[in-house]
Chains A and B, each alone.
Chain A
Amino acid sequence: MKRILIASVILIASVIMCLCLLTPAISAAAEREVRIADKTGDWGNPSPYLSYARGPGYVRMHFIFDTLVWKNETAGPIPLLAEDWEYSPEEDVYVFNLAENAKWHDGEPVTADDVAFTIAYMKEHPYGWVVLDSVDRAEVIDPHTVKIYMSSPYAPFMEDIGGTMPILPEHIWKNVANPMDFVGDGAFMGCGPFKYADFNKEHGTYRYEAFDEYHLGRPIIDRLIYVKTGDPQMALQNGEVDFADVKPDMVDTMRARGFVVIEGPHYWNKKLMINHNREPLDNIVFRQALCYAINQDEFVDKSLRGHGKPASYGLISSESVWASPNVPNYPYNPDKAKEMISTLGYVMEDGVFTKDGKPLELQVLISMIGVGGQPTPDRDGEILKNQLEKVGIRIDLTSLDTKVVDTKVVNQDFDLAISGHGAIGGDPKILYEMTIQVPGSKPSPNTARYNESEELNNLFDDLMHEMDPAKRRAAVYEAQNVYARELPAISLYYPTSYYAYDPDAGVEWFYTIGGIAKGIPIPQNKFALIGDGASTGVETAETTAIETGTAAQSTPIAPGLAMIAILMAFVTLQIKLSKRKP
């Protein structure tokens, strides 16, 4: 009995000791540090080729690597590595003058050679974000001037290449044969405002240190950290991070608690994919009737609980600078929808349209697709079913895994499918990419593959290759109008996304116009962290209090062993005891 007592005392004592140790070990602030929460954590090594080819992966990389031009909250393109630039239509050439004081993190100057090298390198080793088919070559004029020769006029150049292609240091990358394997010395060295300090795949954390000699001025914070959390808004409220995405329903609560909530622009749309190879979906009149039967406001009210807005039928976001002012609209009108369907030879019988004795029945594929591909429970399927059945179309709602829906859409094994994608606020080339099946490319599950409209194809040609801004704009407007009339797919709504930050951390985060780089709708633009985008109350701001210095992240062997040893001791004692003959 004594042994049990002793063992219990040891156990209790050790538990108490553990509890005493469990006070957070945080001391006073010495450096300014900002922490950002992320639910996924691991977005790959923060180098151009190794970061995952998704928005957050690019964002992790963009703090370290600079592009030629950039965008901020209200304007783009604005100077980044390039101080100014010029396009000459006669030669089809871009000339960039680079900032003379730009430096790589190892102190070497950034030169025109690096830019020319990057273009050559990325043509040889394709980089997912930037397609360089339209670029012929780059020529170095002097150490800070580079001339980029195009192989064909490419209208989205400034946003798509100039503002997205990270410039690589030639003195490091010239020896790299396979960029997908390169994690060696200098792999994470760029010329951006932050230096790479650490990435931990297992914990999903990133650490960046300010680059003192950054050519646009030293960042306003010393350290930037990404933390993986289960629930970002909880981590924000608990003071573990300074910046996090919040759920729409939490916005008021977060504001009440003193956080600044920023509302995202509507650059992501939920849309109805249509199989144009099947009757009656191949008929423009029928697709227009669908639009009249669809009540976009009901989706916003019920599916988004008001946190969103109805979509433009022209695909390009109605908030984009490229939005056409006169896109055809289809105000909710079920009677008109019925009327239009009956002109196609359908007869209403018992509330369902029939033709040749067969009822008009469509299958709608739904899945848990949400903003940025994040799984979200589907609330749209039932709403759509109700609306379409009201006008006499029988709906077979089929819920499947997102990836299965994607595959079915790619294989054209569907009638209608609810899907969604972003980038509708950036360069209007998205209109081209999401409509036409580009020859030689694998069909994307978000592309309508609507190649039959001659009118649209001609407009797309101008949209992609017209270098005169006014003419291009006219083509973009007209393309949206035609798109909304012919309806290769039907946009339903734009959800509103929210981020919240702690104003005491001293950074004023913002959403980038048209999205970061090619259109990433994440409000983590590096310009918020350097001079211009910074808040005024910098001096008084307090940051999350963590001591300076670095700690290696080790596996929890020591505490684990301690814990297990204590318990093992207890168990051993018990066993020994049980061995004693009574």
Chain B
Amino acid sequence: MRKRAVKMVAAYLLTILFLLFLNFLLPRLLPGDAIIAMYSGHEIAMTEEMYAELVRMHGLDLPLHEQFLAYITQLAHGDLGYSYICHASTADLIMGALPWTLLLVGTSFILSAVAGIVLGVESSWRRGGRFDEALLTFMLLLDGIPSIALGIIALTVFCLYFGWFPSAGAMTPYSSVEGIGHIKDVLWHLVLPLATLTLSMIPGDYLLIRNSMMLTIREPYVLTARAKGIKKRRIKYLHAARNAILPFATRIGIRLAYLITGALFIETIFAYPGLGLLTYSAISNRDLPLMQGILTVSVLMVLLINIVVDLMYKKIDPRVENAY
């Protein structure tokens, strides 16, 4: 038991180190001179001196292994770096964007999971029926539309044509409303991006649950339960779905990575001030420290969530305990 725990911790540490190395290396492998790329759009008459100074400031004059060592040391001190493009510490920028992303992606995550599970279970129960076929067709269709297109359709219809919702941002800037009014304003701005993101996530959840349910409802114990005369709904959700949900838990583990960057397109279209938009601007400005900071945070988040999912497995399905 203890041996296994040690093994697991070691595996995670190795993964972290490897990912941090990749994270360090990849931006440096981007073609083009990083300094020129970063400052080429700026109205700065760059002299050779300034260039040398910038190279030194970004630590790009050191050999690669020393750069990596400096990067790891800095990280170990909890310092994610300083974005010279934004004149702000990377950690502050990320912390500013994180709540918005959590609000948007987290909520849509829960909504789409609930909808996906319910629809998937119902659909599989009535497999071959009219309800199932219609829903399946609709979901496949929806799955085929990229979230970016959904966003644009939503904007055109509900913002431009009907004018019900605002086109951008997370709140009306500098409106004087506070308290309930402020919450209303935030929710009002949330509706369109949230709906778009949720709609784009539902098909995946739905299809997974439906498929996995298809297998479970053929199990003998389901037949037994039916023979016992247990109510249908109880069989569906307590007997079958409970067992069908395992692959879904795995999916959650993978999908939660999207908490960080998954909403990139949606956030960009709706100018929603979350991490996706921050990532987008970091990449387009070639803001190396910010890019690295975001990647580091996402890597750590994904691993953390993986641990949680690993542990959760045992709760969801005790059989996993014996699977090692």
- Give A residues with C-beta under 8 Å from B: 1, 4, 18, 21-26, 39-42, 44-45, 50, 52-55, 58, 128-129, 131, 180, 198, 200-205, 207, 223, 225, 227-231, 234-235, 237-240, 373, 375, 400-401, 403-404, 406-408, 410, 438, 440-442, 444-445, 518, 546-551, 553-560, 562-564, 567, 570-571, 577-578, 582
Report the bound CA distance from A41 to B97 in whole Å. 14
Report the bound CA distance from A129 to B106 in whole Å. 43
Report the bound CA distance from A403 to B48 in whole Å. 19
Residue of B with least CB distance to A11: B114
Q: Which residues of B contact A227 (CB under 8 A)?
A: 168-169, 173
Q: Which residues of A contact B155 (CB under 8 A)?
A: 230-231, 234
Residue B22 at the A interface, CB < 8 A?
Answer: no
| Majority-rule SS of A interface residues | loop
Nearest CB in chain A: distance from B115 CB, A: 11
Given A1-B234, A44-B87, A556-B190, 7 more pairs with CB closer than 8 A: A25-B184, A25-B185, A203-B171, A547-B175, A558-B182, A582-B225, A582-B239
Residue of A with least CB distance to B106: A564
- Taking a contact as CB atoms under 8 Å apart, the answer to whether B96 and A202 are in contact is yes
Contact with B281, one of A40, A230, A404 (Cβ below 8 angstroms): A40
Q: Which residues of A contact B46 (CB under 8 A)?
A: 441-442, 444
Report the bound CA distance from A410 to B185 in whole Å. 49
Report the bound CA distance from A41 to B281 in whole Å. 10
Contact with A229, one of B160, B167, B234, B237 (Cβ below 8 angstroms): B167
- Taking a contact as CB atoms under 8 Å apart, the answer to whether A203 and B176 are in contact is no
Report the bound CA distance from A406 to B41 in whole Å. 10
Nearest CB in chain A: distance from B231 CB, A: 7
- Taking a contact as CB atoms under 8 Å apart, the answer to whether A234 and B167 are in contact is yes
Of B67-75, B256-264, B266-274, B296-304, the one touching chain A: B266-274
- Taking a contact as CB atoms under 8 Å apart, the answer to whether B159 and A556 are in contact is no
Residue B88 at the A interface, CB < 8 A?
Answer: yes
Residue B145 at the A interface, CB < 8 A?
Answer: no
- Nearest 3 Cβ contacts at the A-B interface: A403-B37, A229-B168, A407-B32
Residue of A with least CB distance to B241: A578
Residue B140 at the A interface, CB < 8 A?
Answer: no
Nearest CB in chain B: distance from A571 CB, A: 7
Residue of B with least CB distance to A15: B111
- Taking a contact as CB atoms under 8 Å apart, the answer to whether B168 and A401 are in contact is no
Residue B8 at the A interface, CB < 8 A?
Answer: no
- Taking a contact as CB atoms under 8 Å apart, the answer to whether A21 and B184 are in contact is yes
Contact with B174, one of A198, A240, A567 (Cβ below 8 angstroms): A198
Q: Which residues of B contact A564 (CB under 8 A)?
A: 106-107, 110
Nearest CB in chain A: distance from B103 CB, A: 4
Report the bound CA distance from A55 to B180 in whole Å. 39
Nearest CB in chain B: distance from A281 CB, A: 22
Report the bound CA distance from A582 to B229 in whole Å. 11
Among B43, B93, B106, B188, the one with the most A-chain Cβ atoms within 10 Å of its Cβ is: B43
- Taking a contact as CB atoms under 8 Å apart, the answer to whether A22 and B174 are in contact is no
Selected A-B contacts with CB under 8 Å, 5 pairs: A202-B273, A238-B160, A403-B37, A547-B175, A559-B103
Q: Which residues of B contact A235 (CB under 8 A)?
A: 166-168
- Taking a contact as CB atoms under 8 Å apart, the answer to whether A21 and B180 are in contact is yes
Nearest CB in chain A: distance from B166 CB, A: 6
Residue of B with least CB distance to A442: B46
Nearest CB in chain B: distance from A465 CB, A: 18
Report the bound CA distance from A249 to B85 in whole Å. 33
Interface string of B251-292 (1 = CB under 8 A from A): 000000000000000001111010000000100101000000
Contact with A403, one of B160, B174, B286 (Cβ below 8 angstroms): B286
- Taking a contact as CB atoms under 8 Å apart, the answer to whether A554 and B180 are in contact is no
- Taking a contact as CB atoms under 8 Å apart, the answer to whether B99 and A228 are in contact is no
Among B41, B174, B176, the one with the most A-chain Cβ atoms within 10 Å of its Cβ is: B174
Nearest CB in chain B: distance from A519 CB, A: 10
Given known contacts A25-B175, A554-B182, A578-B238, is B167 in contact with A441 (CB within 8 Å)? no
| In the complex, chain B residues 179-195 whose Cβ is within 8 Å of any chain A Cβ | 180-188, 190-191
Report the bound CA distance from A570 to B114 in whole Å. 10
- Taking a contact as CB atoms under 8 Å apart, the answer to whether B42 and A54 are in contact is yes
Among A227, A373, A548, A563, the one with the most B-chain Cβ atoms within 10 Å of its Cβ is: A563
Q: Which residues of B contact A129 (CB under 8 A)?
A: 43
- Taking a contact as CB atoms under 8 Å apart, the answer to whether A1 and B233 are in contact is yes
Contact with A53, one of B32, B42, B187, B191 (Cβ below 8 angstroms): B42
